[in-house]
Amino acid sequence: MVKIVDTMGRIKLQPGIKAIEEEPKEYEDIPLNRAALACMINSEIGAVLAIMRRNVRWGGRYMSGDDQLEHGLIQSLKALRRNVFMWEDQWGEISPVLYLEPFLEVIRSDDTGAPITGIALSAVYKILTLDVFDLSTIDVDKGMLMVVDAVTSCWFEETDPASEEVVLMKILQVLLACMKSKASVVLSNQHVCTIVNTCFRVVHQAGTKSELLQRTARHTMHELIRCIFAHLPEVDSIEHSIVKGGISNKSEDAMFLGAMNENANGIGLGKDGGALENVHLMTEPYGVPCMVEIFRFLCSILNAVEHIGATSRSNTIAFDEDVPLFALGLINSAIELGGASFLQHARLMNLIQNDLFLNLMQFGLSMSSLILSMVCSIVLNLYRHLRTELKLQLETFFSCVILRLAQSKYGASYPQQEVAMEALVDFCRQKAFMVEMYANLDCDITCNNVFEDLANMLSKSAFPVNCPLSSMHLLALDGLIAVIQGMAEKVSDESMGLESAPVTLEEYTPFWMVKCGNYKDPNGWVPFVRRRKYIKRRLMIGADHFNRDPKKGLEFLQGTHLLPEKLDPESVACFFRYTAGLDKHLVGDFLGNHDEFCVQVLYEFTKTFDFQDMNMDTALRLFVDTFRLPGEAQKIQRVIEAFAERFYEQSPHILADKDAAFLLAYSIIMLNTDLHNAQVKNKMTEEEFIRNSRCVNIPREYLSEVYHSICKNQLRTTPEQGTGPPEMNPSRWIDLVHRSKKTAPYIVGDDGAYLDHDMFAIMSGPTIAAISVVFDHAEHEDVYQTCIDGFMAIAKISAFHHLEDVLDDLVVSLCKFTTLLNPSSVGEPVLTFGDDTKARMVTVAVFTIANRYGDYVRTGWRNILDCILRLHKLGLLPARVAIDAADEMELPLEPGHGKPLASTLTSAHLASMGTPRRCSGLMGRFSQLLSLDTEEPGSQPTEQQLAAHQRTLQTIQTCHIDSIFTESKFLQSESLLQLARALVWAAGRPQKITGSPENEDTAVFCLELLIAITLNNRDRIKLLWQGVYEHIASIVQSTLMPSALVEKAVFGLLRICQRLLPYKENLADELLRSLQLVLKLDARVADAYCEQITQEVSRLVKANANHIRSQMGWRNITSLLSVTARHPEASDAGFEALQFIMSDGAHLSPLNFTLVVDTSRQFAESHVGPADRSLRALDLMAGSGMCLVRWAKESKGASKEDAAKLTQDIGDMCLRLVQAVRKACLDQREEVRNHAVSSLRKCLTGVEDVLLPHALWLQCFDVVIFTLLDDLLEIAQGHSQKDYRNIESTLTLAMKLLSTVFLQLLNVLSQLTTFCKLWLGVLNQMEKYVKVRIRGKKSEKLQELVIELLKNMLVVMKTKGVLAPRSSLGGNSLWELTWLHVKNISPSLQSDVFGAEGREQNYMGQLETTQVPKGMISSPDRAVVSQG
């Protein structure tokens, strides 16, 4: 629709443009045939004439002079009949006045009766509804105005009540048709007001008529209001035109002349439509001016009703609710149609803010639930459309009406409570409502905490205390759920929110002057609002401190930067003025104190009040309402002086000076005491009060008004008792109107969750408790679902805003309803669970929260695990959860959640299912149920039992419990850590587990889950490892006998190490160190699982040998392998692992060389298993010497220091190697012993190329070879043949070892300064072996071997020039000492090797030797000589 509006705010007319969108009519779909219009009008003329002829007055002729003439009304109708057919083709050019005037004359005539008037009205109605004329028709404005004037001034003779009612109904019909006509835009403001006034008169008159007329009249009035205010959106602001029009206050207060007159019948309207002073403005085409007057008129109806009913409030329902309901309905219609357009017109908004809302506040406390419901509907409409200009009005409505009526403790009846609660729920369903209440009111230091109060009230109202669940409880629940779901809709699972940064005050800023730069941009108003809320909370805390000790309270506020370090009067005054919860007695005493600072605070305090345009009694009420007036006269005087000065400053036109203001204020206080003190018998009269106040020199009317105000309403100088919502009184309303002009702009909420974190933190606790109680008391599934929806919304919000404690509280509450935490119920718990809809629904909710929002669960994991453990005990967990957790990662991952379970069970399962030994899953439960002995038909499951089990199965499937652990890698670190701790907690202490199989099963299951999440979170193993290790350690160290728990602990530990070593090099040492726990196992436990442990260690070594890079790690590995060498079942696997390490030296390193060699020695010495394994162990040891050679070659490229260190290390390793082999040379088994000697020879000769320190070679001979020869000799002489079979062969091999090694290393050894000592030691050993007796007999074979070996050695030494006459190697003469010892072995060897030269040199050497003083021979040589 095209709208053209002039500068005066009136609708301009353009030809052919529709001004009003009509409602559907019965003629709307019928195309208008202009040719048929003549017939239609002609028929209406005939109808009027016919009804007139039935009356004798109109039926005959009468004489006028000599001519017989008809009545003028009939003549005009007949004249129209003659012309009507002449206009068939030119209706658009015919003035409507021509064909409307005859009918309108009949309507206006005083002589026509009700039937005739009624037919004429019907004719006009038909013409209007057929659109015979439109805006393009000439004189359309005159025609419309004539219709309105005629109908609104209709007179007719009353014949009978029925006919009169018909005429009244037709009047309403025609007036409504005028407003709905396309030509209605030509009507003036005055005519529209007249139409409304006429309709209201009919409504009033219909009170004594039939029910039909009453309903029709009221319906028409509603339609008129809708039609008029539907135009408001089309009208631009014309406030300036109204002001320019100069409508006086007098005209504003009188829309209609005599509009409201109280009479015996109630409310009546005068005949005249009223006359406003500005005739020009009211004669313009209608627009905002008439709407302002109509709206004021509607409010005046409420005012009149209130005055009428004011005296009968003792009987709360005594006054008639019909009229206020009617007026409120009209107002509601106007607001519905006008909508947000009211905001464009200040005068309309002023009516709503002041007159309307005051009436709504008064009628809101009505005992009539119908009136209250209508009031709430109006306020809801006002909120939706106009809330930006009604901030304080809405606060007052909720504080004084909704909060008072919705709770029974303030005396409201149940219907009132229900209506108020329904209204509040409607508000809660507005998505932005609670956010806006919080942002605009709760975060404003001058306003009440409306959001907090409403949320608490809803929570409390939802609690069924000692009573069954009622509709009121469910209403409150709906409100809570609406608020929570509104918050939940703002967040999404994909994008989790961040915690809001805490607000702090770094320095002092006047808290009452905090401003916002942009109230429309969330980036501007959100920090501002949060800062204000922080200030408000701190002020409340400060008030609490102040109430206990004023001085400490002010110091606290200084410490929080809300008051300056050096107190100033203004800041303290503003603290007193704007802080709720202060003790008004303390404030009054402070303000009345004579101290100079307190006096300054008092005057600053008065400056915070706005007394403009107020009577003094109203101003004084507001003033003393903020504190308790002190009791001392001097204090009272100081307070009143400050008040009077402020009042005079703002209202100098009323009083002469501030002294006059003081006198009047004091007079009012004295009057108040006189009138309302029970001890005063003779009350002050009005005349006395005026006479006492004559010195003030103000009008008598003013004083009279003050007197009656004080007389009617006591001026309370002490705080009101009670904690209920405050009642609205006239003075508070005036203050509200003043404050509303200065309050901060209204913040409009949007879809952003800017403040939801703070709001939810306030209401979450009571909300969870309330929904939980309702859920507990509920008995219907729809209520269950409502509660579950609320729980899920709470979980979603908690997760989004990182409110972990709230989510934990929710989980705790929900787990109680699963019945899984309860002791076993009577009967079969699985059947009970399947039949309990509530338990099944909440169980699904618990695990949905765990899966969906597990990132933010903390202590709640304990409760969730309690539920899982209960399901485990009942055998209800899916197989994927119940299997060995160590195999979890090896299972192929299938689409979906976990291993699919059968969703249905039929009789076909009976044959295939047996009774399992242990029910490990849900299918086990079914097999138990279904595989009952067929010989006992009485024990067969019923259909109900099968159905219950089926429901249980479907519920557990829906829970996706397995996903909690398989998807744990996606959990946030803190949540994962809490889950692990919860598993440890749920498992219990190992000392308490061993006594009960059930407890042990629980502990095993918890350990399985713990290992599962450990393996699934290898990237975060460092986070979990300490707790996992300590738990496993406590199990291992406290277990003395084999059990499933220690088995799971040990193998879980080994598999964790096996799987995680490749990925966590920085944690490898920690993992390998944990293997010490296996070494600490009790002997009985270790023996029971040794083979399996070895197999796991073997797997670990084969998979991770390259990742073991510390000596400590290898020490633990080799220690475990060494233990297996003595275990019959485990030795094979242990040796296999050892072979893997040592074969070809692939995994040998300086770190593990000596450890592995020592382990290999233990396998070589072990008598467990075949001897062949010992031989292979010796081969491994012998082959490891090649690694030393390789490392020695690699060291040549290193730096000098590194090479020296590596050489030293290689030497140590070499010595350890040959020492280990030497020990194996003493084995009782001949083949092992002999093979060990051969291996030792390989080791010693294999490292010839290694540049070992000289001292090391001496050690090899002294500690290894010589010691071996001595040990073998001891064995040969001291043990029986049964213990060491064929020891002679070993001695033979040992001698060969000595000779071979000595000769092969002769080049190196001969360069040693101690070579002589070494050589004499060799000769000493050969001398022993020559003389040895085996079983009491000398061994000729050994004797011959020794001599032959010695001869060979001498020849080699001679050849190489090592042994020659006059040789002085080693200090003393090597030559003489050699032959001295050789003579004891074989005297002929010297001549055999050196011939005559040798004998001669030997003789000369002996002479020299005998001449050498004893002091010249070293002690080792002396020892050798003495032995010879």
User: Which residues are marked as active site?
Assistant: 632
Residues 6+ apart with CB under 8 A from 150: 104, 107, 108
Q: Which of 1251, 1261, 1157 is nearest to 1204 (CA)?
A: 1251
Residues 6+ apart with CB under 8 A from 1133: 1091, 1094, 1095, 1097, 1098, 1124
For residue 1334, the SS3 value is: strand
The β-bridge relationship of strands 266-268 and 261-263 is: antiparallel
Q: What is the DSSP string of 1178-1207?
A: HHHHHHTHHHHHHHHHHGGGS-HHHHHHHH
Rounded Cα–Cα distance for residues 769 and 456 (Å): 11
Question: Is residue 1239 within 8 Å of 1261, Cβ to Cβ?
Answer: no
Q: Is 1349 exposed, middle or buried (0-12, 13-18, 19+ CB in 10 A)?
A: buried
Q: Which of 290, 128, 153, 289 is nearest to 224 (CA)?
A: 290
Question: Is residue 169 within 8 Å of 119, Cβ to Cβ?
Answer: no
Rounded Cα–Cα distance for residues 1182 and 1161 (Å): 11
Question: Is residue 570 within 8 Å of 610, Cβ to Cβ?
Answer: no
Q: Taking every pair of C-alpha atoms in the chain, what is the biggest distance, in angstroms?
A: 208
Distances (CA, A) of 550 to 423, 572, 582, 631: 42, 11, 10, 19
Q: Which of 760, 876, 774 is nearest to 817 (CA)?
A: 774
Rounded Cα–Cα distance for residues 1287 and 1306 (Å): 28
Rounded Cα–Cα distance for residues 330 and 348 (Å): 15
Rounded Cα–Cα distance for residues 922 and 877 (Å): 6
For residue 830, the SS3 value is: helix
As given in the structure block, the two tokens for residue 840 are 């099944």
Residues 6+ apart with CB under 8 A from 1102: 1137, 1140
Q: Which of 43, 193, 62, 183 is nearest to 119 (CA)?
A: 43
The alpha helices in 693-755, defined as continuous H runs, are: 700-712, 730-740
Beta strands in 530-682 (DSSP E): none
Rounded Cα–Cα distance for residues 386 and 335 (Å): 9
For residue 1184, the SS3 value is: coil
For residue 1023, the SS3 value is: helix
Rounded Cα–Cα distance for residues 1305 and 1247 (Å): 10
Q: What is the DSSP string of 963-1022?
A: HHHHTGGGS-HHHHHHHHHHHHHHH--HHHHTT-HHHHHHHHHHHHHHHHHHHHTGGGHH
Phi and psi at residue 11, to the nearest 5° = -75, 120
Q: Which of 773, 754, 779, 845 is nearest to 807 (CA)?
A: 845
Q: Which of 713, 724, 720, 815 is nearest to 411 (CA)?
A: 724
Beta strands in 135-204 (DSSP E): none
As given in the structure block, the two tokens for residue 393 are 């009005």
As given in the structure block, the two tokens for residue 1387 are 């005297």
As given in the structure block, the two tokens for residue 1021 are 């193993």
For residue 640, the SS3 value is: helix
Provide the residue type at 156 as one letter.
Answer: F
Q: Considering just the CA atoms, what is the radius of gyration of the chain in Å?
A: 56
Q: Which of 408, 407, 401 is nearest to 457 (CA)?
A: 407
